[in-house]
């Protein structure tokens, strides 16, 4: 046993992930049976997130030094990054299931509307380029903070946030209302329900990413990141790029083919 | 850490590939062939993002086992579910 493990008070654990999971579960149940319960779930998630952000800004989640045998077989990555990749694994399963269901429904349907007649591929293309640019912005932010340039990090994170928000505004503020006005509602058949389910879940992930990037931005302005301390930027970046990857498939599936 | 030029180059390639997808959609030819081409371009874009923006290209191959195993897992589940439903099971 190392000194770290002989001093339990040094271990910075948090119940917040469990609280967040409970809040999300309550939200989903509420969405189906009782809308006020959905709001209660969201409030629980928001309060738990605030607590996580507060603890993180106070450096309460600093990693303990691990023994070599505890690091194997991912010595170079570090457990924070491995944790993010395990989380991304679960996200692959969520989106993979939804996309597989979409393929199954589509290939077994006798008729399916032509993509370009329902959706505007140019708007889809613009949104794709916006998301790709936001990925570039966050990776450049990481590059700059690794070089000690905090201003570059702030510009990168601010750009990522603005572009992510623009993506959502185009999607939810213009595209969806236009489709609904044209009678393409969630109840108007499988093409519509699969579209709203997949792009809706993706939009929720973009919104969650915006919350994380917004937090990073606030922390960056408070001097929370340095040349040696920037794992938060890298980890949120991994998630943001994953959301980008998902859109790389949703765009052609709904707008082109 | 790769250089900025590499990141900007990858981004420019991804933007061009996106435009190529839209152009491919309007080309004459068999729908199945065009669909396959578009999906291949989309897959290539996803791989480039994972390799260069998520840095899998520069990490230990052991880390890449995590997302790859999830992709294989979901593919097997989807195929088995589709097979089961088509068999009426």
Q: Which residues of A touch B70 (CB under 8 A)?
A: 88-90, 92-93, 96
What pLDDT shows up at residue A226? Answer: 92
Cβ-nearest to A252 among B21, B49, B75? B21
A226 touches A145 (CB < 8 A): yes
Chain B contact present for A96, CB below 8 A: yes
pLDDT tens digits along A55-71: 888 877 766 667 776 77
Structural domain boundaries in chain B: 1-58, 60-89
The reply to whether A221 and A116 lie within a common domain is: yes
The reply to whether A94 and A49 lie within a common domain is: no
What pLDDT shows up at residue A1? Answer: 40
* Gap between the Cα atoms of A255 and A235, Å rounded: 30
How many interface pairs between A and B have CB atoms less than 8 angstroms apart? 119
Q: Which residues of B touch A242 (CB under 8 A)?
A: 54
Report the chain A residue with the minimal C-alpha distance to residue B25.
Answer: A256
Report the chain A residue with the minimal C-alpha distance to residue B36.
Answer: A257
Residue-wise DSSP of B10-57? HHHHHHHHHHHHHHHHTSSS-HHHHHHHHHHHHHHHHHHIIIIIS-GG
Domain that holds residue A224: 66-256
Helix (H) or strand (E) holding A118: helix A115-118
Report, as an integer, the average pLDDT of B51-71: 92
Taking 60 as the threshold, does the pLDDT of residue B34 lie above it? yes
Q: How many CB atoms lie within 10 A of CB A121?
A: 19
What pLDDT shows up at residue A56? Answer: 86
Domain final position from A62, A95, A113: A62
What pLDDT shows up at residue A123? Answer: 95
What pLDDT shows up at residue A6? Answer: 47
CB contact under 8 A, B78 and A96: yes
The reply to whether A10 and A135 lie within a common domain is: no
What pLDDT shows up at residue A117? Answer: 83
CATH of the domain at A81: 1.20.120.80
| Closest C-alpha to A234, from A131, A81, A90, A57 | A81
B53 touches A135 (CB < 8 A): yes
Q: How many CB atoms lie within 10 A of CB A1?
A: 6
CB contact under 8 A, A136 and B22: no
Closest Cα of chain A to B60: distance in Å?
Answer: 7
| Closest C-alpha to A10, from A66, A68, A62, A80 | A62
Which of 4-23 (B) contact A at CB < 8 A? 4, 7-8, 11, 14-15, 18-19, 21-22
The tally of domains found in chain A comes to 2
Report, as an integer, the average pLDDT of B37-64: 94
What pLDDT shows up at residue A201? Answer: 96
Chain B contact present for A242, CB below 8 A: yes
Chain A contact present for B53, CB below 8 A: yes
What pLDDT shows up at residue A158? Answer: 98
Report, as an integer, the average pLDDT of B29-49: 94
Domain final position from A40, A62, A84: A62
Chain B contact present for A140, CB below 8 A: yes
* Farthest CA pair distance, chain A: 66
More confident call, B6 vs A78: B6
The reply to whether A126 and A3 lie within a common domain is: no
The reply to whether A42 and A107 lie within a common domain is: no
What pLDDT shows up at residue B1? Answer: 63
Task: Decide: helix, strand or coil at residue A229.
Answer: coil
Structure tokens at A242: 């994953």
* Gap between the Cα atoms of A232 and A78, Å rounded: 13
* Gap between the Cα atoms of A246 and A242, Å rounded: 6
The reply to whether A102 and A124 lie within a common domain is: yes
C-alpha pair distances (Å), A128 with each of A20, A81, A139, A243, B74: 30, 26, 17, 11, 25
Structure tokens at A182: 């044209």
The reply to whether A76 and A162 lie within a common domain is: yes
Domain final position from A10, A32, A62: A62
Q: Consecutive sets of 10 residues in chain A, 257 residues long: mean pLDDT of each?
A: 47 83 94 92 95 86 69 75 93 93 88 86 96 97 95 97 98 95 91 94 96 96 91 95 97 93
């Amino acid at each position: 046993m190392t000194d770290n493990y002989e001093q339990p008070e040094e271990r910075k654990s948090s119940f917040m992930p469990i609280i967040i999971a409970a809040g999300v579960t309550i939200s989903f149940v509420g969405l189906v049976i009782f809308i006020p319960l959905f709001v209660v779930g969201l409030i629980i998630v928001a309060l738990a997130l605030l607590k996580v952000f507060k603890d993180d800004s106070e450096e309460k989640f600093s990693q303990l030094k691990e023994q070599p045998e505890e690091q194997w077989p991912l010595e170079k990555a570090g457990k924070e990054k491995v944790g993010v990749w395990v989380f991304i694994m679960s996200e692959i399963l969520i989106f993979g299931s939804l996309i597989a269901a979409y393929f199954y429904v589509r290939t077994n349907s006798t008729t399916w509307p032509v993509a370009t007649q329902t959706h505007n591929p140019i708007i889809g293309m613009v949104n794709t380029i916006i998301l790709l640019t936001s990925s570039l912005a966050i990776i450049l932010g990481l590059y700059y903070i690794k070089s000690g340039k905090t201003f570059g990090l702030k510009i990168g994170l601010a750009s990522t946030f603005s572009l992510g928000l623009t993506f959502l505004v185009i999607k939810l503020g213009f595209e969806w209302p236009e489709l609904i006005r044209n009678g393409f509602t969630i109840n108007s058949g499988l093409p519509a329900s699969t579209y709203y389910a997949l792009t809706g879940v993706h939009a929720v992930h973009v919104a969650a990413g915006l919350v994380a990037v917004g937090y990073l931005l606030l922390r960056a302005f408070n001097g929370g990141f340095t040349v040696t301390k920037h794992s938060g930027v890298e980890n949120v970046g991994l998630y943001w790029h994953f959301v980008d990857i998902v859109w790389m498939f949703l765009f052609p599936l709904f707008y082109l083919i | 850490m790769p250089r900025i030029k590499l990141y900007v180059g990858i981004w420019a390639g991804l933007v061009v590939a996106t435009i190529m997808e839209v152009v491919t959609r309007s080309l004459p030819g068999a729908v199945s062939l065009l669909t396959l081409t578009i999906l291949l371009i989309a897959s290539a874009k996803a791989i480039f993002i994972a390799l260069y923006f998520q840095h899998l290209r520069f990490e230990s191959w052991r880390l890449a086992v995590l997302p790859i195993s999830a992709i294989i897992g979901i593919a097997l589940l989807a195929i088995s579910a589709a097979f089961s439903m088509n068999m009426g099971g």
